[in-house]
Structure 1
Amino acid sequence: MRKLASLAEPWIIRPTAVSAPGRRTLGSIVTKLCSSIHSGALHLPGREQVIWRTRTAVLVALIKFVHVASICLWAAGLVSLPGLYVQRSTVANRDALHRLQKIVRFSYVNVISPAAFIAVLSGIVLIFLRQVYAPWFSVKLLFVASLVILHVLTGLVIIRIFREGEGYPVWRFLVATIVTSGIVVTIFVIVLAKPDIDVAVADGLFKPGGLRSLIQRLSPWPIP
């Protein structure tokens, strides 16, 4: 028991405000583990090292598959929902309206929103596993954030559109479909092409703390 306690001691996270020298925090453990997975620096001998690298590659491929599949489902849902909204003005009776409302809400709550959550979560995991910090990746995150904003706006539309006297004009259907499709296509193009972006144009925006420095220069109020 003492031997087990001595082995577990370095990994115990103490509830202290400041970590003492030599103590491991949860953040340092995750960072070191992800760095080890990325570089294969677990110092395993020969055959075990090959097995570890193979299993890691399979794990990363599986998470990539889940990430891509969830993004496709998420994007397809956001693109198709405006086509359901526009039918709001053409329903024949109240029963058809309730049926359309159930379809829209089920799609948003039970299919599209879980797919969005899985896409974002698996993307965060891949950031640590693959350690991708290139400028093109920051641009991709910008468009993913735009997709998240569209997702939230879609939920607000669902709340409002089925009220009495509400509708969804065709021009909004066209604008929503074109904008959403454009964002999705841009994300896939950036991921597949991985374009070289001159970071000098952004004046250090892609460096750690770059966004904060940019906001400090633009804000009329002092930002600590």
Structure 2
Amino acid sequence: MLWVLSLHIIFLTIWVAGAYFVPVILAGAGRHENNFSDPPQGIDSMARFVYTHVATPAALISITAGSVVFLINQSADFWLLAKLTLVAIMAAAHASLGLLIIRVERKQYAMVRAWSYVFIALLSVLIVAILWIVLAKPAVPEGVPWTL
């Protein structure tokens, strides 16, 4: 059980690092100002490589290991389902990051920098919320029907 939980935490860390790294690359590629030098070539392929070969496999392994921990514990507490909801939102945000990579590869730089900042902010909020839920394990709020 402990090794599965360790696997979950290790690959979650890799997923989050990759998910932070890709929008930073894209924000640099999406600059539209006239600079003294052009942005370096190959940024798009680096973003795609990190997304497809680092962040996405780490996300899949992390979610799978987390599901195994969930099945081993056989628990369906309120905090766990709230965490899974936030993880689902994080996975959807990860998928939208792939769409942002496609926009940059098609040279559609409009709002890429802004969306990169939005993604970083959203990811930060989700990570803090997930950490709080996991560490605090809040009880069911008053007035919420909970029948599990």
TM-score of the aligned structures, taking structure 2 as reference length:
0.87
Per the alignment, residue 73 of structure 1 pairs with: 14
Deviation at 1:165, TM superposition (A): 4.5
Q: In the alignment, which of 18, 21, 29 is matched to residue 88 of structure 1?
A: 29
Picking from 47, 62, 69, the partner of 1:104 is: 47
- List aligned pairs for 1:27-66, cutoff 5 A: 60-66=1-7
Distance 1:118 1:142 in 2: 18
Q: Which of 109, 121, 144 lines up with 1:202 in the alignment?
A: 144
- Number of residue-to-residue matches in the alignment: 143
CA contact (8 A) 2:83 2:130 kept: yes
What CA distance in whole angstroms lies between the structure 1 residues aligned with 2:77 and 2:117? 34
Return the letter of the residue paired with 1:86: A
Deviation at 1:155?
0.8
Cα shift readout 1:185-221 (whole Å, capped 9, x = no counterpart): 11111111111123x63323x53xxxxxxxxxxxxxx
Q: Which residue of 2 aligns with 1:6?
A: none
Map 1:124-203 onto structure 2 (within 5 A): 124-198=67-141, 201-203=143-145
Q: Distance in 2 between matches of 1:120 and 1:92?
A: 39
Structure 2: gaps spanning 5 or more residues? 32-36
**Which one is further off, 174-183 or 142-151?**
174-183
- Secondary structure of 2:30's aligned partner: helix
Distance (Å, rounded) in 1 between the aligned partners of 2:53 and 2:66: 20
Show the counterpart of 2:34.
Answer: none
Using structure 1 for the length normalisation, give the TM-score: 0.59
Q: Distance in 2 between matches of 1:68 and 1:155?
A: 23
Per-residue deviation, residues 67-116 of structure 1 (Å, max 9, x unmatched): 011111111221222111111134716xx33x111210110000000000
Give 4+ residue runs of structure 1 displaced > 4 Å after superposition. Answer: none
Query: Percent identity at matched positions?
Result: 27
Q: What are structure 1's unaligned runs of at least 5 residues? A: 1-59, 208-224
Query: CA shift at 1:167, angstroms?
Result: 4.2
Q: Distance in 1 between matches of 2:58 and 2:66?
A: 12
Higher RCO by CA contacts (8 Å cutoff, separation 6 or greater): 2
**Larger Cα-atom Rg:** 1
Question: How far apart, in 2, do the equivalents of 1:171 and 1:154 lie?
Answer: 13
For residues 109 and 125 of structure 1, the distance between their equivalents in structure 2, rounded to whole angstroms, comes to 23
Q: CA RMSD in A?
A: 1.9
